[in-house]
Amino acid sequence: MAYDAKTQKAFVTNGAVSGFDILSFADLESGKFTEVESQKRLLLADFGVEDVKDITSIAVHPTKDIVAISAARNDKTDKGYIVFVNKNGGFLSSVQVGSLPDMVTFTPDGTKALVANEGEPSQDYSVDPEGSISVIDVTGAPAGFTAKELTFTEGLIDEKVRVSSRGSKLEQLEPEYITVSADSKTAYVAMQENNAIATIDLVEEKIVSVKGLGFIDHSVEGNEMDAIKDGEIKIEKQPILTYHLPDAISTFTVGGTEYIITPNEGDTRDWDAYSEEKKVGKLGEIELKAENYAGYTQEELDAFDVDLLEDFKVTTESGYNEETGKYEALYGFGGRSFSIFNAETMELVYDSGNEFETITKEAAPEYFNSDNEEVAKDDRSNSKGPEPETAVTGVINGKTYAFIALERFGGIMVYDVSNPASPSFVSLLSSRDFSVTEFAGDLEGNDAGKFAGDVSPEGLQFIPANQSPTGKALLAATHEVSGTVAVYEFE
C-alpha cells in the first residue's frame, strides 16, 4: 500500500485482478471503527499494458500527482514495466525496466523512482536473467521518463553473500526490496535469497557494494527456537544456524546514525529444475561439528539425536563437507526475528532472537506458529515459524517505534527502537479471528467473506500524526490472504 497525505488516499495493489484499488481515508475518525470501501478499481489492462501477470508494488510521489506501479510480465523472465498514473487513476506513461520488477519506490526528495528487478529464473532454468536496479529520473514530464539500469559485477560481492547456487553469481543475485536514506543520497536493497544488502550511491547512480548478513546461531542462549512440528511448544537450544534472508527492510535514524531494520523472513530457491530445500531426514549422512556452533561441545553434539529434527527444512547449499560426504552443520531459512544493522558498516547492532516465538507463545498459545491458510498449532515450527515479512518505523511522541509484520501468525510486533542497540517490546497487535480454523476462498477474491478478520499481513505503511486524517499516528497493514486493509490508531 502507498498513502498520499495530501489527498488522504490509499493505493493498494490487487494481485487477484492485476490492478489496484483506491481507498479514501478521509472519513476515518479518532477512536471510531469505520469500514472503508474501494472508491475505484483500475486494471493495468485499462492502460493498454498487456501481457502482465502480476502487479508487485505501488508508490506515491511525495509532492507530484504521480503514482508508480511495478508490473511483471506473464513470462517473468521478460522485462517488466513501471506504469505511472495520476492520483485519480489516469494513465500518464509506462517505462520498461528489468526482469521481474518486484518493488518500486520514490526517493524522499522526489527526484527518482527506484526499481528492484529481481530476475528470477524460469522454472526449468532455461532462462535466468541477472538482477538489476532501475533508476528513473522523474523531475520532468511523465511522457519523457526513461530508465537507467544499474547492473552488478562480481567484484562488488563479499564472501558472506549466498551465491553458491545454480547459475553464475550475477544470475543468482535477486534484488527484492529498496529503502532510501532520508537525504535521498543512498539506497539499500534487500537481496533476500542472497542473504545480503546492496548499497547504491544515488548521487553517482552506481552500485557500491553487496554485503552478506551472516547467520544466527540457535545454540546460543536467547536464540532458542521451536524446530519440531509435534503439536507442542518447545522453544529450546538447537544445533541449527539460520540465514537472515530479509524481505521488506526499512531505514531509520537515531542520533545522526542511520540504521537498517530487517525482518528475517527466509526464502528458498525452489524451482522445478532445482531446489535447495530439503528436510534434515533426507539430507544423507550428518556429523555435526562443534566448531560451527557456539553453544555445543563436541560431546554434546555426538550425543544429540538428529532424528528429532528430521522434518526441519534446511538448505543443501551450506554445511556440507565434500571430502567426507557429510553435513557438518544445519542451515535453515530465516531467523524468525528482526535485526538492526548499522547502515554504513553493515555491522549487526541488535537481533531479537527468540522473542517473537516467546511472545506469541504467551499471548496465543493455541495458535503458536500457526499457518496463514489454516489454524494449526505448531504447524510452522519445522519451517520458518511466525515468518516476519515486513518492517517499518515511525515516530510517535518523540519515540521511534518499529512495526514488524508476522505473515503466518497474523500479527504485528511493536518495539521501541529509540535505542537501536537495546530495543524493547511494546505490544503485539492482531485483528485476525482464529475461530475460523481452515483456509476458505481461492486467493482470487472469491468467498473472501469466509475469512475471519485480517489474515497474513504482507505490507505496512506508517502514517505520522501530522499526516493522519485523525490527527493521531496510524499504521495501515495490507493482508494478502484475507484481502483486507487494517488501519490501527495509536494514542
DSSP secondary structure, 296-362, as one string: --HHHHHH--GGGGTT-EEETTSSEETTTTEE-S-EEE--SSEEEEETTT--EEEE-TTHHHHHHHH
What whole-number percentage of the chain has pLDDT above 70? 97
Q: Which of 172, 195, 198 is nearest to 274 (CA)?
A: 172
pLDDT digits over 380-396, tens only? 999 999 999 999 999 99
Question: Residue 171 carries which DSSP code?
Answer: H
- The CATH code of domain 48-212 reads 2.130.10.10
Question: Cα–Cα distance between 193 and 300 in angstroms, integer?
Answer: 32
Residue at grid coordinates 476458505: 440
Report pTM: 0.95
Interval 160-173 mean pLDDT: 96
Confidence label for 16 from pLDDT (cuts 50, 70 and 90): confident
pLDDT digits over 88-118, tens only? 999 999 999 999 999 999 999 999 999 999 9
The phi and psi torsions of 26 (rounded to 5 degrees) equal -60, -30
Tell whether the model's pLDDT for residue 191 goes beyond 50: yes
Question: Cα–Cα distance between 324 and 284 in angstroms, integer?
Answer: 12
What confidence score (pLDDT) does residue 441 get? 53
What confidence score (pLDDT) does residue 449 get? 45
Q: Are 38 and 22 in contact (CB under 8 A)?
A: yes
Interval 28-47 mean pLDDT: 94
C-alpha distance from residue 198 to each of 206, 213, 456 (Å): 11, 11, 28
Residue type, 438: E
Question: Cα–Cα distance between 437 and 455 in angstroms, integer?
Answer: 12
**Mean pLDDT across the chain:** 95
Residue at grid coordinates 567426507: 324
Residue at grid coordinates 495458535: 367
Q: For residue 74, what is its C-alpha cell?
A: 506473464
Question: Cα–Cα distance between 126 and 118 in angstroms, integer?
Answer: 17
What confidence score (pLDDT) does residue 448 get? 45
Question: Cα–Cα distance between 440 and 374 in angstroms, integer?
Answer: 9
**Residue 25 exposure: Cα atoms within 13 Å on the Cβ side:** 29
DSSP secondary structure, 391-417, as one string: EEEEEETTEEEEEEEETTTTEEEEEE-
Q: Is 48 helix (H, G, I), strand (E, B) or coil?
A: coil
What confidence score (pLDDT) does residue 455 get? 92
What confidence score (pLDDT) does residue 438 get? 61
Interval 31-36 mean pLDDT: 95
pLDDT digits over 396-446, tens only? 999 999 999 999 999 999 999 999 999 999 999 999 998 876 655 544 544
Span(s) in the chain for CATH 2.130.10.10:
48-212
Confidence label for 49 from pLDDT (cuts 50, 70 and 90): confident
pLDDT digits over 226-252, tens only? 999 999 999 999 999 999 999 999 999
